[in-house]
Each structure stands twice: as structure tokens, then as C-alpha cells.
């Protein structure tokens, strides 16, 4: 299955397994299990979304948004718990304009889950760590 390296954003092809003890990026050598939210841009968005065989969750946020700021640590913690299950990403709607319009994001934070590059779920408003974990778990 194709997964995106959380460190260098390159595409890796790894065997599909129930769980992984180790998995390293073919390009940068860092662990694919060491996951953190990836910053998506207007340039890499389509490539990442269409080359990830695992689900992708996108957090539309902005630096001036207080609820986004509040959710940020929870989003990072949750990202670390689902390596090679769901790809956590975020889009700064202030510096990366256009994607929020494309997906009709009217208020932030908005979380959108993509499967095979198609939107399958969205939630508007900040979630705490437990709510994030249970949301993501529904799609496992």
C-alpha cells in the first residue's frame, strides 16, 4: 500500500500488514511509525491525497484562530497513535488559500476525512483528544 512519509512527504510502498514493528521511509530513512501532522500546501495537496492508500484527515486551521490553537496539541497527540492507519495533515488557510474555498470550508477548525481522495466525513469545530481518537477509530 502507498503511504506518505510524515518527515519528507515522499510516497512509500509498503506491504499491507495488521501491525508494524518497524517501517522506514525509502527516501529519508526515518521511521514511518513516528507520525506527526504533515503541513499540506496548495502544491502538494493533490499528490498527498491521491497517493495515500490510508485515510487522510485534514485539519483546516489558521494562526489567528483560538479554537485551532487549543486543538493543536490534541491533534498532534492523536496523530502519534495511528501510524500507518490514518494520515494526519493540516492546512494553514491563511498561507494556503484556495483549498478552503475548494472544499467549502466556511469556519475553522474544520476536519475533513478523505478516503481514496474523496471526502467521507467532516466535522466543524475543535475536538479534544478523546473525541479525535474515537472519531478516527470509527474509520479503522
Q: Which residues are catalytic?
A: 65, 68
27 binds Zn ion (CB under 5 A): yes
33 class by beta-carbon count within 10 Å (0-12 exposed, 13-18 middle, 19+ buried): middle
- Residue whose C-alpha cell reads 511509525 in the numeric block: 33
What's the number of CA atoms in the CB half-sphere (13 Å) around residue 57? 29
Name the residue among 66, 2, 72 with its Cα closest to residue 39.
72
Q: Rule CB under 5 A: is residue 25 a binding residue for Zn ion? A: yes
Number of residues that bind Zn ion (CB under 5 A): 6
Residue 112 in the binding site for Zn ion (CB under 5 A): no
The size of the chain, in residues, is 140
Residue 14 found at the interface with Zn ion (CB under 5 A): no
Q: Which of 5, 68, 79, 136 binds Zn ion (CB under 5 A)?
A: 5
Q: Which is nearer to Zn ion, 7 or 85 (CB)?
A: 7
3 near Zn ion, judged by CB under 5 A:
no
Q: How far is the CB of 111 from Zn ion (least distance, A)?
A: 25
Q: Please answer whether residues 36 and 86 qualify as being in contact, where contact means their C-beta atoms are separated by less than 8 angstroms.
A: no
* Using rule CB under 5 A, residue 48 touches Zn ion: no
Catalog residues that contact Zn ion under the rule CB under 5 A: 5, 7-8, 25, 27-28
Amino acid at each position: 500500500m502507498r503511504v506518505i512519509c510524515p518527515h519528507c512527504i515522499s510516497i512509500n510502498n509498503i506491504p499491507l500488514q495488521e501491525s508494524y514493528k518497524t517501517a522506514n521511509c525509502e527516501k529519508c530513512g526515518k521511521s514511518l511509525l513516528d507520525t506527526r501532522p504533515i503541513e499540506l500546501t496548495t502544491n502538494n495537496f493533490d499528490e498527498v491525497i491521491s497517493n495515500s492508500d490510508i485515510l487522510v484527515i485534514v485539519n483546516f486551521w489558521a494562526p489567528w484562530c483560538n479554537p485551532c490553537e487549543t486543538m493543536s496539541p490534541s491533534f498532534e497527540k492523536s496523530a502519534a497513535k495511528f501510524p500507518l492507519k490514518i494520515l494526519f495533515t493540516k492546512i494553514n488557510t491563511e498561507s494556503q488559500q484556495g483549498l478552503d474555498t475548494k472544499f467549502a470550508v466556511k469556519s475553522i477548525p474544520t476536519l475533513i476525512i478523505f478516503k481514496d481522495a474523496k471526502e467521507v466525513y467532516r466535522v466543524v469545530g475543535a475536538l479534544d483528544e478523546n473525541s479525535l481518537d474515537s472519531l478516527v477509530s470509527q474509520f479503522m
